[in-house]
Amino acid sequence: MENFKIYLFGTSSPSGLFFNSLADEQEINLTSLTRSNLDYLVKDSKYINFDKELSFNSIESGLPKIFVSFSPIWKFEKFILNLSISRPKLLEEVKYIICCSSSSSLTKRYAFSNFDKFLSNKLIFSEKSLMDISKNFGIKLKIIAPTLVYGNKLPFLDKNFNKITLILRCSPLILLPHNTGIRQPIHAKELALVFIYFLKNFINASNKKQQMIEEKVKIYIGGDHELTYYEMVKKIQDSLRMYDFGKFCVLLKIPKRLFFLIFSPLILFSPKSYESVLRLSSNLSGFTKVSELIGMKSLKFPYKTSD
C-alpha cells in the first residue's frame, strides 16, 4: 500500500465515511480531502474546495497517486479538469481514479422534466470528460454508478430512505399503485466495499507488475435484493421500532389508473414531482449485484449498523 498515496474525496457522505472506516480496518493509509471539519471522525483529513485552485496545494507531489471520489461527479470532474490545465505534472502522477456517479445517467436520460434531463446530461458529460482526461494522461479510470443508495453513517444521513421514513411517520395513509416497479437498493457500506474491491485489485496488480484485465470503465451496481417499491416501503416500515409512529401508517394499493389520476394535478405545479410519481411503476433494477461482483455474503434488507 505504501507504493501509492491515496486521496479520498467526498468523505462527508455515508459511503465516504464507510470507505474511510473500512480502509482503516484493512490498514490502507489514505488522506481524506473534504470541505467539512471531520477531525473528530477522520484521523488524516485536509481541507479542500473544488471551486478554488489553491485546493491543489492539499495534494502532495512526488509519489504515484490514487484518487477515490464519492463527491458529486460534476464537481470532481471540474476539479480534475482544472488540475489538468493548471498542474498537469501533478495529474501525471495519478495512476488510478475510482469515482462515484449515478444510475440516473441512464434511468433519467429520457425524462420529460427539465430537472431530470439536466441531471442525466450533467452526469453523462462529466463521465465523458473524465474518460477523455484519463485517456490523455494515461490514468486508469473506474466509474461506479450505483442505483438507490441508502444507509446512515453519523453525522451524515441518506436522502432516500430517511425521506420515506419521514413520510411514514407524518402520514396516516400512503397510496401506491397496485403494480409498483422493481428497485435494487444498495447500502452505503456495500458501495464502499465495492470501491475497496477495485482499489485493492489495482494495487495488487501494480505490486505484482501485472497488467490488469481489461474491463468496462463504467459499471452499474445495485444491492442483492430486488424488491417492488411496495415491498421496499413495507420492509422499511417493518424495520422501525415497535412504537414508532411510522408503524401505524397504512399502505394502500389502488388501481394504477386511479393512482395516476389522483396525482395528475401535480404536473401543473411540479413536473419533477409528477415524474417521481410515474417512476413508482418503472423497473429500476437489473444492475450488477454487490455479492456477485465482490463475492461477499448478502446483507439483509434493510441493513442497519450500530451507527
Cell triple for residue 99?
Answer: 469515482
Residue with cell 415524474: 275
What was the pLDDT predicted at 296? 86
Homologous superfamily of 5-148+184-224+287-294: NAD(P)-binding Rossmann-like Domain (3.40.50.720)
- Residue spans of alpha helices (H) in 61-113: 73-86, 88-92, 104-107
- Greatest Cα pair distance, the chain, in angstroms, is 64
Distance set, CA 27 to CA 22, 30, 155, 216, 301 (Å) = 9, 9, 23, 28, 29
**Number of Cβ within a 10 Å radius of residue 13:** 23
What was the pLDDT predicted at 209? 58
**CA angle (169 as vertex; 13, 298 as ends), nearest 5:** 50
What was the pLDDT predicted at 211? 55
What was the pLDDT predicted at 207? 67
Residue with cell 501494480: 206
What was the pLDDT predicted at 188? 95
What was the pLDDT predicted at 147? 93
Contacts of 276 (CB under 8 A, 6+ apart): none
Separation of alpha carbons 261 and 257, rounded Å: 6
In 3D space, the residue among 67, 83, 57 whose CA is nearest the CA of residue 30 turns out to be 67
**Contact predicate 66/199, CB 8 Å:** yes
Radius of gyration of the chain (CA): 21
Note down pLDDT in tens along the chain; length 307 residues. 458 999 999 888 899 999 999 999 998 989 888 877 666 567 667 777 777 666 677 788 888 999 999 999 999 999 999 999 989 999 999 999 999 999 998 888 767 778 888 899 999 999 999 999 999 999 999 999 999 999 998 788 888 899 999 999 999 999 999 989 999 999 999 999 999 999 999 998 876 655 555 578 999 999 999 999 999 999 999 999 989 999 999 999 999 999 999 999 988 888 888 888 988 988 888 999 999 999 988 889 998 875 4
Strands 140-146 and 182-183: unpaired
In 3D space, the residue among 80, 83, 76, 98 whose CA is nearest the CA of residue 212 turns out to be 98
Q: Where are the domains of the chain?
A: 5-148+184-224+287-294, 161-182+227-281
